[in-house]
Structure 1
Amino acid sequence: MTPIHLELPLPSNLSSFRFLHKLVISGANLTGAIPAEIGDCIELKTIDLSSNSLVGSIPARIAKLQNLEELILNSNQLTGKIPVELCSCTMLKSLLLYDNRLGGSIPPEIGKLSSLEVLRAGGNKDLAGRIPDELGNCSNLTVLGLADSRVSGPLPASLGKLGKLQTLSIYTTMVSGEIPPDIGNCSELVNLYLYENSLSGSIPPELGKLQKLEQLMLWYNSLTGVIPEEIGNCSSLIRIDLSLNSLSGTIPITLGGLSELQEFMISDNNVSGSVPSNISNATNLSQLQFDKNQISGLIPPELGMLSKLTVFFAWENQLEGSIPTTLGSCSNLQSLDLSHNSLTGSIPPSLFQLRNLTKLLLISNDISGSIPPEIGNCSSLVRLRLGNNRIAGGIPKTVGGLRNLNFLDLAGLTRNENNVRRSWKPKLAIALLITVTVAMLVMGIIAVIRARRTIRDDDDSELGDLWPWQFTPFQKLSFSVDQVLRCLVDANVIGKGRSGVAYLADMDNGEVIAVKKLWPSTAARTNGCNDDKCGVRDSFSTEVKTLGSIHHKNIVRFLGCCWNRNTRLLMYDYMPNGSLGIAGSYGYIAPEYGYMMKITEKSDVYSYGVVVLEVLTGKQPIDPTIPDGIHVADWVRQKRGGIEVLDPSLLSRPESETEEMMQALGIALLCVNSSPDERPTMKDVAAMLKEIKHEREEYAKVDVLLKGSPANHFQESNSNGVPATSSSRSAMRSLNPKSNNSSFSASSLLYSSSSSAKIGFK
């Protein structure tokens, strides 16, 4: 069936159709409000006005429809509250209100709808308040979806009374407290989506009673304690994602009994102990991710029995020993990341028999030996990172045949020429000793000369009688050079940098300025020449005259300069959060600028990140539409990187492009990290941006910056004819406020991370 785009409002004379049983106008671009007269069609059993552009509130007169079984109003622009009067529709089985703009709270009276089977009200950003205990009285409920809303408070224990519940989808909300053990009584539960909340406490062992549970998604909460062994009793489990919590303990050996398990993800926790070898009994495993934990011991050779494994992430743990050669038997393996461990031995040649392998990352281990020539067999290899190991020898010629390779990191690779190395060791040691001795002697002489020059320069700075000061103002000033000189004391120093020292100067008239005392000119100090011979002052004078002629609202105002034989002073307006080290626009300047004058290449990375945020959000760095005048980067973080931060004009783009924009947003947030050390280099940024498109095209299911595509059965309709929804993860791990690890910020995107995706029901 082809949808008809009517672009018309619903007619108000619906009362003429008193005996109408079904009203289905879905996806027709209907506009306007739902007429109250719809309540006069007393025989109506089904109302489906979903996926239109309807506005206004839900008419309370719908409560007159005593025979109504299905009210489907999702994916519109409806506002107002959920009408309490709906509780009068006692025959109601399906109530679908998700993806609107409804507000208020969930009426407790809905608990009176004993026939209700499906309640989906997620995707309403203003829907708030607690989840009513009365929902536990809807004994026929099979689907409860309140995701992506502002519902808060604890999960009601009364949910445990829903014996027919199949899907509980309350993710990306403000729900807190512990997971009620009573949920273990929902014996028909298949899907449990509670991720991206503020849940705390431990995972109830009672969940182990859920024999039909297939999806256990609890990532991005504040859960503590151990992973219950009882989870191994959930024999139908297909996906477990407990990433981004604070779980401890060990990986339960009972997981080996889950024959249906396809994905096991516990990234970014505090899990310790070893990897149980019997996990290889879960022969359907396709994703195994336990990166960023404290797991130690050996990698079990038995993992080679997992023939369906596509992703194996174990980076940033404490793994030891060699890489098992048996991993070469994982014929479907696409991404292998064992970086930042203590692995030894050589790279097994068997790994390069994996025709589907696209990523091999073994960064920062203690791996030795050479790169096997078999690497040329990995025709699908896109990224190869072996840096910071003890790998020696040359680069195999077969690497040249890897046409898909776009990222090669062999940092630290050395030539393995033992004889030459031995013969050169004594000579090298002698040469280094002589070089160091001479260098120390020269540095000592230079230090003595420089100290004497500095003393003389300081004297020159203060003795205006011997070396008179020249003063060039560029604004109308009401203070003298003498007042400025009196403030050049250590107590007033507010920053030091490569170019000079910055002082805070209080003038007699109450004016506060910033004075930058430049270090003496290198040419003058080296040659000992005066100003006329060297031309230092002439050049300086020309530069400051140019600077003084610039007038712009985004440039720090230059007041003037003064100098004598060896000292040069620049005077600026004092700006508590400004910069004397660079002239730049507000909002684009990295926080380490200011008066500390710490300018590095990472400062440019910050500015680049701001520009990317500006392009994607459509907002200036300091935008009048952002409340409280906060920076656009802080605003995006407050929004947790949700899709609503994008420029509204971009939201009509195809889903694949939207996801790429969200991934670029995550990279931008790495760039604007307040700590320069935790920002990626521009080389890394370029690699991440280049990879976004490549990831989507080559393997859209398996790596860090990918769209998390749900399994096929999530694309089918559920038992109620309502298709399950999925979308990209709203906040990449760069938005995780619980992690301040520098290796996380850059490497979690550049290396790999959990590929959890937003899947579930709203």
Structure 2
Amino acid sequence: MPPRLRGRARLLALLVACVCSSLLLAPCHCVNEQGQALLRWKNSMDAAGALGSWKASDASPCTWLGLSCDARGDVVSLSIKSVDLGGALPPSADSLRPLGRSLKTLVLSGTNLTGAIPKEVGDLAELTTLDLSKNQLSGAIPSELCRLGKLQSLALNTNSLRGAIPSDIGNLTGLTSLTLYDNELSGVIPGSIGNLKKLQVLRAGGNKALKGPLPAEIGGCADLTMLGLAETGMSGSLPDTIGQLKKIQTIAIYTAMLTGSIPESIGNCTELTSLYLYQNSLSGPIPPQLGRLRKLRTVLLWQNQLVGAIPPEIANCKELVLIDLSLNMLTGPIPSSFGTLPNLQQLQLSTNKLTGAIPKELSNCTSLTDVEVDNNELTGSIDLDFPRLRNLTLFYAWQNRLTGPVPASPGAVRGVAVAGPLVQQPHGPGPRELFALQNLTKLLLLDNELSGLIPPEIGNCTNLYRLRLNDNRLSGTVPAEIGNLKNLNFLDLGNNRLVGPLPSALSGCDNLEFMDLHSNALSGTLPDELPRSLQIVDISDNKLTGLLGPGIGSLPELTKLNLAKNRISGGIPPELGSCEKLQLLDLGNNALSGGIPAELGKLPSLEIALNLSCNRLSGDLPSRFGELDKLASLDLSYNQLSGSLAPLARLENLVTLNVSFNAFSGELPDTPFFQKLPLSDIAGNHLLVVGAAPTRPPGAPGHDGPGRGERAPPPGGDLRARALPPRSRGGGGAVHGDGAWEVTLYQKLDFSVDEVVRSLTSANVIGTGSSGVVYRVALPNGESLAAMNVLLGLRNEPYLADFGLARVLSGAVASGSAKLDASKPRIAGSYGYIAPGNNFHFRIVQEMLQVFSVAMLCIAHRADDRPAMKDVVALLKEIRGPPRAAKREGAVGVQQRRRCRHATSCAAGAAVAGAEPPAEGRLVKLLVRH
């Protein structure tokens, strides 16, 4: 080889040697086996962004997000919380096995994991903490987890796990915390749970399919401090072994199906601070052994079936802050020993059968904020020393038998809500000291026998937003000082003996939405200015006079206006047409004159009722009346109106119409509604011509109505035999099962809800479906109907929520005849309010609006603004009011005659009758097959 080539070869060899030498001496940048396993898991998920620090080029995973290593570089902890990993746990053993030799903590909480828990997790033998909570994991809890002998904490809560709790759970003898709540687990709690001697926390609530009794073996969990099984299907009695839990601090098994009595052994749980057993079916007495629990702070036993007296020994628990025993069947007195509880803040004993007086010793509980003893059988006077109860904010005592005056010295109480009804004897006025409470928010003394004046000092209660003094015997005038109540939202002074004019100062109540002054003796004119925030105004059944001013049209939020049964004169102000949210307008039984303003036809929301009856109105109906296409009830009776009824032909949603005793003329509109309109609703219009006769030829059975061209009957004529018959379903009045059904009004039926409820038995079931059970009900007059959606009240009494359609015929058809009485409609039914033994009245509308207001509170955007369920019950009870002493006689919905102040009589419909329905009425739908 030439020297020149040999030199080049030596140089190339030297370069190759240098390169190889540098490669051999350089460190290896390849992640270890554990890192590779974790990378495989990462690559199986869509979590590149969340786990961006996990890189294959790293020598060790110890610097990666969520990982910790020991001194040897082995991964001992993988903890990632509230990061969207968006995938499943490692799907194969290859991804987990490398971690098994060192991993002690595996926490993947709130990471949006899906799929099942791999059984290979049971191979991570060194695990002490496993937390897969707050994900979307499904499937069963693998039994292989029970091989993790070193496991101390297992958290699988807030997933969608199904199936049973593994029976081998007792193998995890080192477990201190087990949280399985808010899943879809089923089955029972295995008895092996008693092997977990070190267990401190057991929470499995929110699994509604978790059933069966609490196993007696639970007593073996000697270190248990928290037992949570709320909102499950747990049933049976609490085992006596619960008394072996000497360290237990909280027992929460509420909203379940527990039965039997509370075991006396619970008195051995001396570390107990919170006892939550409400909303079960526990029975028997409250064990006096609860008095041994000297650290007890909260006792919630409400809504069970507990009986007997409240044990006075409970007062030995000096740390008590909250006692709630309401909605049971407890009897006897309220223990006076409760007055020795210095920390007591809430005492809730509502809806029991407690007797005796409210113990004056409660005045010693100066921390009290809430006292609820309503719906009992308490007697005596209220002798509480209110000035000492400086923290009291709520005091409910309605529906009792309390006597004596309203407490006369609560002057130092701030922010208290006083609620009735009480039976006041002697009948005295409310003390003026009561109205010195500047922070008073609710004053509810409705349905008492209070008398005297409303003191002007009420204007000092500047934080008052709810004032209900209705249904008493209060007299005097409405104090002008009420106008100082800028926060007042609800004012109800109805059904008293108030006199004099309404103060113009009421316009100062800037937030007033509800004002009810009905059934008093108020006089004078309606103030020119009223609060623009008003939504419901009821000043009916008073002695108001003068003109209805144009200012009434400046209430943009007004939905209901009832000024019926007064002495208001002059014309209807056209400005009422500006109240675009108005749904109900009742000006009946006044002395209004002139024409009906066309502007009323512009009310787009007028859908409940328009009552202008028993006035002196004249002229033709405005053509714009046809635009009230949502209106359900229209009463123009007993006026001097004339012209054609044609504008009413377009009111397709009408349920009731009364135009009787006017001067209408021309033909009755030829619409299905007018064809079925009873002649009593058009009587007294001498020039009004009834439209076409039924298709049945003259002389056919049942043809006793007027033919074409016949005039409406004169006043005083016998209308009962002249009702228009329905069109036949075929020749001779035969009934065909598939024919169309005609609907008339349930108000024409004569029956009571009691008659229907008596038939709600299993023997009368005619069908079931998604809407519930349907019952066949035979009425005394031979008619039948189908009742469905039966609700239960507070005392499990049945209420009718809806009436469905039953194709059952009258008694004649049921006995085999194919003929029907042609003078009867095929179906009677519509929607409306059923009040037992009373007339339908639109006062239910305001109750509905109040209920809707409560519903809106329940769905408030901020959770802190939503009332507790018990508060909702209290609000609904207040709206519903106490039951009346006796039901009124008479049939449901039958039209009654009432006297007009300027006419001989007024056959106004029950829809505008003055009586308020009993509280047990319900909004229902009736459909009856004749």
Calculate the TM-score normalised by the size of structure 1.
Answer: 0.64
Work out the CA distance in 2 between the residues paired with 1:340 and 1:701: 32
Q: Which moved more, 1:126-135 or 1:676-685?
A: 676-685
- Post-superposition offset of 1:404: 2.0
AA of the residue aligned to 2:290: L
AA of the residue aligned to 2:86: E
Q: How does 1:127-526 map to 2 (within 5 A)?
A: 127-333=210-416, 335-342=417-424, 344-415=427-498, 521-522=679-680
For 2:507, the equivalent position in structure 1 comes to none
Higher normalized helix content (fraction of residues): 1
Higher relative contact order (CA 8 A, sep 6+): 1
- Post-superposition offset of 1:403: 2.3
Checking the alignment, whether the CA contact within 8 Å between 2:773 and 2:788 is kept in structure 1 is no
- Post-superposition offset of 1:304: 3.0
- Post-superposition offset of 1:150: 0.7
3-state DSSP of counterpart to 1:32: strand
For 2:132, the equivalent position in structure 1 comes to 49
Work out the CA distance in 2 between the residues paired with 1:734 and 1:102: 36
Residues 359 and 67 of structure 1: is their aligned pair in 2 closer, same or farther, counting only changes over 3 Å?
Answer: same
Checking the alignment, whether the CA contact within 8 Å between 2:752 and 2:837 is kept in structure 1 is no
3-state DSSP of counterpart to 1:223: strand
Residues 68 and 694 of structure 1: is their aligned pair in 2 closer, same or farther, counting only changes over 3 Å?
Answer: closer
- Post-superposition offset of 1:203: 0.5
Work out the CA distance in 2 between the residues paired with 1:294 and 1:579: 54
Work out the CA distance in 2 between the residues paired with 1:633 and 1:371: 44
Q: How does 1:64-83 map to 2 (within 5 A)?
A: 64-83=147-166
Indicate which of 681, 687, 706 corresponds to 2:850. Answer: 687
AA of the residue aligned to 1:276: P
Work out the CA distance in 2 between the residues paired with 1:253 and 1:82: 47
Residues 357 and 740 of structure 1: is their aligned pair in 2 closer, same or farther, counting only changes over 3 Å?
Answer: closer
For 2:704, the equivalent position in structure 1 comes to 564
3-state DSSP of counterpart to 1:351: helix
Checking the alignment, whether the CA contact within 8 Å between 2:771 and 2:789 is kept in structure 1 is no
For 2:567, the equivalent position in structure 1 comes to none
Checking the alignment, whether the CA contact within 8 Å between 1:623 and 1:632 is kept in structure 2 is no
For 1:464, the equivalent position in structure 2 comes to none
Work out the CA distance in 1 between the residues paired with 2:678 and 2:473: 46
Checking the alignment, whether the CA contact within 8 Å between 1:523 and 1:534 is kept in structure 2 is no
Checking the alignment, whether the CA contact within 8 Å between 2:773 and 2:789 is kept in structure 1 is no
Q: Does 1:707 align with 2:867?
A: yes
Checking the alignment, whether the CA contact within 8 Å between 1:111 and 1:134 is kept in structure 2 is yes
- Post-superposition offset of 1:85: 1.4
For 2:532, the equivalent position in structure 1 comes to none
Checking the alignment, whether the CA contact within 8 Å between 2:882 and 2:919 is kept in structure 1 is no
Q: Deviations over 1:234-270 (max 9, x none)?
A: 1111100000001010000100000111110000000
AA of the residue aligned to 1:563: H
Checking the alignment, whether the CA contact within 8 Å between 2:752 and 2:836 is kept in structure 1 is no
- Post-superposition offset of 1:707: 2.0
Checking the alignment, whether the CA contact within 8 Å between 1:49 and 1:72 is kept in structure 2 is yes
Q: How does 1:520-669 map to 2 (within 5 A)?
A: 521-522=679-680, 535-536=689-690, 538-539=691-692, 541=694, 562-564=702-704, 567=722, 568-570=724-726, 582=743, 596=749, 633=789
AA of the residue aligned to 2:704: N
Q: How does 1:721-736 map to 2 (within 5 A)?
A: 732=873
Q: Deviations over 1:365-418 (max 9, x none)?
A: 12122111121222221111101111111111121232222211111333468x
- Post-superposition offset of 1:735: 11
- Post-superposition offset of 1:699: 12
AA of the residue aligned to 1:218: L
Work out the CA distance in 2 between the residues paired with 1:221 and 1:72: 32
Work out the CA distance in 1 between the residues paired with 2:317 and 2:445: 34
Checking the alignment, whether the CA contact within 8 Å between 1:297 and 1:319 is kept in structure 2 is yes
3-state DSSP of counterpart to 2:294: coil
AA of the residue aligned to 1:407: F
Identity in percent: 39
AA of the residue aligned to 2:867: K
3-state DSSP of counterpart to 1:25: strand
AA of the residue aligned to 1:126: A
- Post-superposition offset of 1:194: 0.6
Work out the CA distance in 2 between the residues paired with 1:51 and 1:388: 53
Checking the alignment, whether the CA contact within 8 Å between 1:292 and 1:316 is kept in structure 2 is yes
Q: Deviations over 1:407-455 (max 9, x none)?
A: 11111333468xxx9xxxxxxxxxxxxxxxxxxxxxxxxxxxxxxxxxx
AA of the residue aligned to 1:157: D
Residues 221 and 694 of structure 1: is their aligned pair in 2 closer, same or farther, counting only changes over 3 Å?
Answer: closer
- Post-superposition offset of 1:353: 2.5
For 2:90, the equivalent position in structure 1 comes to 11
Residues 626 and 687 of structure 1: is their aligned pair in 2 closer, same or farther, counting only changes over 3 Å?
Answer: closer
Work out the CA distance in 2 between the residues paired with 1:699 and 1:363: 31
Work out the CA distance in 2 between the residues paired with 1:195 and 1:150: 14
Work out the CA distance in 2 between the residues paired with 1:699 and 1:241: 26
3-state DSSP of counterpart to 1:6: coil
Residues 154 and 14 of structure 1: is their aligned pair in 2 closer, same or farther, counting only changes over 3 Å?
Answer: same
Checking the alignment, whether the CA contact within 8 Å between 2:139 and 2:163 is kept in structure 1 is yes
For 1:463, the equivalent position in structure 2 comes to none
Residues 746 and 331 of structure 1: is their aligned pair in 2 closer, same or farther, counting only changes over 3 Å?
Answer: farther
- Post-superposition offset of 1:145: 1.0
Checking the alignment, whether the CA contact within 8 Å between 2:403 and 2:422 is kept in structure 1 is no
Q: Which moved more, 1:163-172 or 1:339-348?
A: 339-348
Work out the CA distance in 2 between the residues paired with 1:699 and 1:368: 42
Residues 632 and 77 of structure 1: is their aligned pair in 2 closer, same or farther, counting only changes over 3 Å?
Answer: farther
Residues 734 and 59 of structure 1: is their aligned pair in 2 closer, same or farther, counting only changes over 3 Å?
Answer: farther
Residues 539 and 297 of structure 1: is their aligned pair in 2 closer, same or farther, counting only changes over 3 Å?
Answer: farther
Q: Deviations over 1:492-540 (max 9, x none)?
A: xxxxxx99xxxxxxxxxxxxxxxxx99994599989x9xxx9744x355
Calculate the TM-score normalised by the size of structure 2.
Answer: 0.53
- Post-superposition offset of 1:342: 2.4
3-state DSSP of counterpart to 1:16: helix
Q: Deviations over 1:709-748 (max 9, x none)?
A: xxxxxxxxxxxxxxxxxxx569947999xx9984799989
Q: Which moved more, 1:48-57 or 1:243-252?
A: 48-57
Work out the CA distance in 1 between the residues paired with 2:876 and 2:236: 23
Residues 574 and 186 of structure 1: is their aligned pair in 2 closer, same or farther, counting only changes over 3 Å?
Answer: farther
Residues 80 and 626 of structure 1: is their aligned pair in 2 closer, same or farther, counting only changes over 3 Å?
Answer: farther
Checking the alignment, whether the CA contact within 8 Å between 1:204 and 1:228 is kept in structure 2 is yes
Structure 1: state its 5+ residue gaps: 422-497, 500-516, 546-559, 585-591, 604-621, 641-670, 709-727, 749-762
Checking the alignment, whether the CA contact within 8 Å between 1:253 and 1:276 is kept in structure 2 is yes
Q: Does 1:96 align with 2:179?
A: yes
